[in-house]
Structure 1
Amino acid sequence: MKVFNLRCGANHAFEGWFASEEDYVGQTERGLLECPLCGDRAVHKLPSAPRLNLGAKPAVPAVDNPERANTDGQHPANAGHVPSPDPLQALQAAYLQFARHVAQHTEDVGERFAEEARKIHYGESEERGIRGKTSPKEAEALLEEGISVMPLLLPEGIEGPLQ
Structure 2
Amino acid sequence: MIHFDLRCEGGHRFDGWFRSGADFERQITLGLVACPTCASVKVEKALMRPAVALKSAPAPVETPQTSEPTSPAGPLPAGPVAAKPQEAHAVAGPEAPAAAAMAKLYQALQAHARVVREKAENVGPRFAEEARRIHYDEAEKRGIYGEATRQEVEALHEEGIVAVPLPPLPEDHN
Q: Which TM class, normalised by the smaller chain length?
A: 0.3 to 0.5
Normalising by structure 1, we get a TM-score of 0.44
**Larger Rg: 1 or 2?**
1
